[in-house]
Each structure stands twice: as C-alpha cells, then as structure tokens.
Amino acid sequence: MTKLLKTPINAAHLQAGAKMVDFGGWEMPLHYGSQVEEHHTIRNHAGMFDVSHMVVSDLIGTGAADYLSKLLANDIARINNSNALIGKALYSCMLNEEGGVIDDLIVYWMGGDRYRIVTNAATRENDLSWMNSVLEGFDATLTEQSKVAMVAVQGPEARELVIAWGADKLGAEVGKDIKSLERFFATEYDGWFIGRTGYTGEDGFEVMMVEDKATLFWEEMLIAGVKPCGLGARDTLRLEAGMMLYGSDLDAVTTPLESALSWSVGLDPAERRFIGRELLDEQKERGVNRKLVGVLLDGRGVMRDHQKLFFGGEQVGEITSGGFSPTLNRTIALARIRADVTENCEVEMRGKMVPVIIQRPLFVRNGQPI
Amino acid sequence: MSEIPATLKYSNSHEWIQLSDDIATIGITDHAQALLGDIVFIELPEVGEHISEDGECGVVESVKAASDLFAPIGGEVVEVNENLGDAPEQVNETPYEAWILKIKIDNASDIDNLLDATQYQAVVDAE
C-alpha cells in the first residue's frame, strides 16, 4: 500500500476524532462524528472543509490569456476585460480533442497577465501534464503551488466570521476588502488568497494560505465557532446544489453539453478555437443524445451511483451521483439519460423498480429547497 | 473503541440480542453503526411475519450503503420499533437502546449458537 499524502492540517483532524479515508491518495476527513449534522451546520450556520488536497497553479505571462482561451471551454474574455473584474472567478471545463472533459476547474483573474487555477486532486497528474502540453508555444509559465493550503469556510454565517477574522488578524483594511468582495471574486493579501467561492450552494469563502499558517487559521476559525466538516457532507452539499463531481458526473467521454453545463461553454465568438470545440459545435447543431438531469424519489431508500433508470421498460440511463439529501430528508440523484426522455422514470434499486421524478439538476440553493 | 455490553448476546453479522424468556430483542451493534455512518432509513419487517435463522428481516440504509439486517435467531416478529421511522439516527446515537425488532424464539436451543461479548469482541478484532 502506498503511503497516503497528508495536508498541513492533518494532525488537527486526528485530534478532533475525524474518521479518515483515502481520497485520491490523500488521507482526508470523511466526517467528525456525523456527516448529516455537518451538512445541516453548513446549510444553517458555518462549517469548514480542509481542501488542501486540491491543486492550485499560478499562470503568468503575456500569453496567459490566449493560452486559457485555447485550454478552456468557457471564455476567459468573460472575466479579464475590465479593471472592475480583477479577482473575478470563472468556472470551466478543459476538454480533450474529442470534447470530453479532462477536468472541471475554477480560474481567477488576478489582474494583468496573472491567473490562479484550482483543479481536482484525484486528476492531478493528468491535468498538469495536459495543461503543460497545451502551454507549448505560449509565452506564459504555469507553476503548481504545492505549498499552498486551502480551507473552505461555508454557510450563511461564514461570511461574517471570515470578515471579522480578517479585520482582527490581517488589519481593518483587509477586513473591509473581504467584506466588499462580490460573489465569485477573490482578493489577495500578503500570501493570503480569499475567494468568495465554494462547492456547497451556500455563501462563504475559500481561503488559501502558505501551508505553515493553515493549522493556525483552522484553529482560529474553530474558536470563532466554525465547525469542522468532512468530505461526506461536502458531497451531499454539492449534490443538493447540483454541482458536478469529476469522475462521477463528468468524464473524458462526455461533453459539457451532455452534462447540463452549456452555461459554462463559450461558443461565441465562433473564431475562438478552444480544444474540443469541433464536437461541441456539432452537438449544438444536431442536438445531444444524452443529458444530465436531477432525480427525486418520494419515499424511503437511497439512490446510489450506477443504478439504472428505465422508461417504458427500456433502460434509458443511469445514476451518476446518488445519495441522501439531509435538507430534503429524502434521496436525490444526478443521472445521465437519453435526451428524448422528458417524463418520469423508474429506478432499479436492490432488485425493485421504483418510480422517480425527473427534474432539472438543482435541489437546494442558499439553504432553501427548490 | 466500540462498546460491547457484557449482558447482551451477539451475531457474526453485528446484531445484538437481548433475551427475556422466549423473546429476543434485536438491534445492531455500536461497531456496526460506526461502520455504516449516519443511518437515514430503516426498513422494518411486518409484525406476524415468520423469519428463519439468518433470514433477512429488514434493511438499514445509511449515507454510505444499504445493508441487510439478518435475524440472528429464528421466530415470529412480535413487535417492531416504529419510532425509528422518523428518527433512524437513534441507532447511531444509542445503538443498544434503539432496538429494531422483537422476535418470539422458535427453538430455545438456538440461543446456544449466539456469541457472548468476548466472542463478539474477537469477531470485531478480526476485521
């Protein structure tokens, strides 16, 4: 067995009695007792995740914007064309030549020709080798920041607590700066990077820092009343919020248009020849064969990944992410099904066919069921 | 370390059994609930149903997985814990109080097949 990697906050998790699991080669907290309670904490108060396993890379150079324009399905020009947008974040997929998703990511424009990119941990090697191979010929450098740790502080009370922390520890001006951040914007201060982004459907911040400051930040947040939460709650929160998980809902043989991510694909202007564009143009023209939907089941039981969906006795797709929704107190799922299926289906659960409701892939946003 | 009360009997499939005359009260052990994680639904058998030893007598569904509940002893279901319908988390919180079903035992001699706390501890340690 290979030795698991540890984040700088690992000891604090063990001390708090976390149940640790192997996640993409990292020893990460699954929960600290009850993942359902942690879920409710973030929907109703404030909780935090150690997400230091995620991959942070900085891109700089006069060719950076052109590079991102080729690398990303979303159009970097949406966020880098005015000084008012400095710090703005963009969600995008990066695609292979066949239009399949290599990974989904967040890129922040930090002004000038500086960008920060956050990609998934489980896909690290493949992502970095792809990003570096595309970089050839562009006047820009991409540097992985392996000494950067990240803590996501999320929930309706998270914003106030992080603003108060910033004012107290980094100074009144920084506190004001954090307070003035609009959603999906980030700011930097002396090695701290604070983005009003997240993966829960709640307000909050993702805070990046040099690794030797991570445990102190974690402890200061604990004292402020922020509860530690594990990957279990992170998964049910993102599922309720209809956010995709790479490897489950997204993969290298499925395009963003087949994944309810058309909004994150910039097909205009037609001159922007990003990688994977050909198939997307073709799909836009002809329509897609498969689509990603939300699935609701009104009753007991929990839908699980890979359970099959049927319509009129015929299999039309399968669950890509299934689970229990603590907010709705019932099971919910994301599924990929035949694009022509618009009516309700049946899911095969433990040998039984159970009727389910097909809806758009969004269940909860800002604490409220949708 | 999970709790294993000395006063109860146990099965290899992680049920606990409390015996009172010919009635067996059955739940799942502390070790089992910790492995499952948060329990979100419990499917109970019908009262009056007859279940043979090692037969399925319900489903415990957690955030992680669905897991069959097996009768550690054969008999007729005489009572089920309806409170668990609205509050399945009781099984996580107090596994030895949150009983799941009660069975009227067919053969008293089957009790001899059950494990005591020391034997069950060995089962847990071997995992």
Position A35 in a domain? no
Flag whether A353 is in a domain. yes
Classify B48 in phi/psi space as left (phi over 0), alpha (psi -120 to 50) or beta: left
Q: What is the dihedral of CA A272, A276, A282, A287, to 10 degrees?
A: -110
Residue A1 has pLDDT above 60, yes or no: no
What is the residue type of B125?
Answer: D
A344 within a domain of the structure (yes/no): yes
CA A262 to chain centre: 16
Q: What is the CA radius of gyration of chain A?
A: 21
Contact predicate A76/A90, CB 8 Å: yes
Q: What band does A145 get if pLDDT is binned at 50, 70 and 90?
A: very high
pLDDT level of residue A328 (50, 70, 90 thresholds): very high
The DSSP code for A330 is E
Contacts of B37 in chain A (CB under 8 A): 30-31, 35, 232
Q: Which residues of A touch B58 (CB under 8 A)?
A: none
- State the ipTM, two decimals: 0.89
* A17 contacts A32 by C-beta, under 8 angstroms: yes
Q: In this predicted model, what pLDDT tens digit does every residue of B59-90 receive, in sequence order?
A: 999 999 999 999 999 999 999 999 999 999 99
Amino acid at A328: L
- Give the nearest chain A residue to B1 (CA atoms): A17
Q: Edge-to-edge, what's the strand order for the sheet holding B56-62?
A: B39-43, B56-62, B66-70
- Split at pLDDT 50, 70, 90, the class of A68 is very high
pLDDT tens for A84-138 read 999 999 999 999 999 999 999 999 999 999 999 999 999 999 999 999 999 999 9
Q: Which pLDDT does position B2 carry in this prediction? A: 86
**Domains with residue ranges and CATH for chain B:** 9-120 (2.40.50.100)
Cβ–Cβ contact A352 with B under 8 A: no
Distances from the Cα of B30 to the Cα of A20, B27, B34, B56, B120, angstroms: 18, 10, 6, 20, 12
Query: In the prediction, which pLDDT does B1 show?
Result: 66
Tokens of A134: 């595309």
Interface test with A, best of B30, B31, B40 (most A CBs within 10 A): B40
Alpha carbon distance A60, A115 (integer Å): 6
User: With an 8 Å Cβ cutoff, is A36 touching chain B?
Assistant: yes
Q: What is the CATH number of the domain that holds A353?
A: 2.40.30.110
Give me the residues paired with residue A103 across strands.
Answer: A94
Cβ distance of B92 and A34 shorter than 8 Å: yes
The first and second tokens of residue A232, run together, are 């279990």
Domain contains A33:
no
Exposed, middle or buried, A105 (CB in 10 Å: 0-12/13-18/19+)?
buried
Residue A227's SS3 state is: strand
Average pLDDT over residues A137-152: 98
For B57-82, give the DSSP string: EEEEEESS-EEEEE-SS-EEEEEE-G
Q: Which residues of A touch B87 (CB under 8 A)?
A: none
A309 within some domain? yes
pLDDT for A312 beyond 70: yes
Res A75 pLDDT > 80: yes
Q: Which pLDDT score, from 0 to 100, does residue A367 have? A: 87
Q: How far, in Å, CA of B81 to CA of A211, rounded? A: 50
Whether A181 is covered by a domain: the verdict is no
Nearest-CA distance A335 → chain B (Å):
18
Q: Is residue A320 part of a domain?
A: yes
Is the separation of the CB atoms in B39 and B60 below 8 Å? yes
Residue A306 DSSP symbol: T
Candidates B125, B97, B103, B104; CA nearest to B29 is B97
A206 touches A146 (CB < 8 A) = no
* Residue A308 covered by a domain: yes
Give the per-residue pLDDT at B127: 86
% of chain A at pLDDT higher than 90: 96
3-state secondary structure A237-248: HHHHCCCCCECC
The three-state secondary structure class of A23 is: strand
How many C-alpha atoms does B22 have within 13 Å on its Cβ side? 11
| Predicted local confidence at residue A210, as pLDDT | 98
- Residue A299: which pLDDT band, with cuts at 50, 70 and 90? confident
The predicted-structure confidence for A219-266, as pLDDT tens digits, reads as follows 999 999 999 999 999 999 999 999 999 999 999 999 999 999 999 999
E strand or H helix at A321, and its extent?
strand A314-325
Residues in A touching B84 (Cβ below 8 Å): none
For chain B, which residues score pLDDT lower than 70? Answer: 1
A362, A369 contact by CB (below 8 A): no
Minimal Cα–Cα distance from A30 to chain B, Å? 10
Query: Would you call B37 and A31 a contact, using CB atoms and an 8 Å cutoff?
Result: yes
Arithmetic mean of pLDDT, A145-151: 98
Number of domains chain A is built from:
1
Q: What is the DSSP letter of A77?
A: G
What range does the domain containing A328 cover? 289-369
